[in-house]
Amino acid sequence: MARAALAALRRASCACSRRCLIGAPGFGCCAPADRTSVRSFSIGMTLDNVDKAVVHPIIRVDHAGEYGADRIYAGQMAVLGRTTVGLVIQKMWDQEKEHLKTFNELMIAHRVRPTILLPFWNVVGFALGAGTALLGKEGAMACTVAVEESISEHYNNQIRTLMELDPEKYKELLQIIKKFRDDELEHHDTGLEFDAELAPAYSLLKNVIQIGCRAAVFLSQRI
């Protein structure tokens, strides 16, 4: 079963490679990543002498998170792709595809088993994206704000963990996570710029989505 999952990831990564030609200001462990060098990483990237008990759950849950984000934006595009915000959503989706491609490569390189919940996140992610988009662009952007705020906080927690362990040993992984964290914060700000707070029952919608995000992280790390 693990071999089949890894084979599927390898196929997905190759497909992404064909399709894609392709921070928040801070300090210390939360400083923005060097955006010019992350693209140099390839499927053969390795992290020598890593603690698998730490690195494998990080890669697994981040892969699941980026997969879920990819499906959310797919759902939003299915509803709003031809509206005035279609290009905005597409730009954010393209970045999520890049994130997912990178974690596909890391999963293969480190032989990390993906969460068995991926089929569930496929359905739930698309339904969440499409469902909130049916509320209008404000609903879609409220979903974006809620999800991206949760993901960026999760990435910051991982950055702190790796910095406390050994920032030099985990330099490459830290660079990737910081870069993606900055992208997620950019998406968060875009959502606010495009009237997320005008969505019906914005605070309630945001809280419910973020509770779901925390549950997804918990389950994907362990299953």
pLDDT per residue as tens digits for the range 34-84: 444 444 344 334 555 778 888 999 999 999 999 999 999 999 999 999 999
Domain assignment of residue 72, given as a range: 2-21+53-222
Q: What is the pLDDT of residues 164-206, one digit of tens each?
A: 999 998 999 999 999 999 999 999 999 999 999 999 999 999 9
User: Residue 43: inside a domain, yes or no?
Assistant: no
Distance of CA 158 to the CA centre of its chain: 13
User: Residue 38: inside a domain, yes or no?
Assistant: no
- Please choose, from the candidates 23, 33, 70, 52, the residue with its C-alpha nearest in 3D space to the C-alpha of residue 169: 52
User: Residue 116: inside a domain, yes or no?
Assistant: yes
Structure tokens at 133: 């988009």
User: Residue 39: inside a domain, yes or no?
Assistant: no
User: Residue 184: inside a domain, yes or no?
Assistant: yes
User: Residue 30: inside a domain, yes or no?
Assistant: no
pLDDT band at 7 (very low <50, low <70, confident <90, very high): very low
User: Residue 28: inside a domain, yes or no?
Assistant: no
Q: What is the pLDDT of residues 9-40, one digit of tens each?
A: 444 444 443 333 223 333 334 445 444 444 43
Distances (CA, A) of 72 to 7, 96, 141, 146, 158: 24, 10, 11, 12, 23
The whole-number pLDDT of residue 46 equals 54
Domains of the chain: total: 1
Query: Hey, is 37 helix, strand or coil?
Result: coil
Average pLDDT over residues 103-113: 93
The structure's pTM equals: 0.80
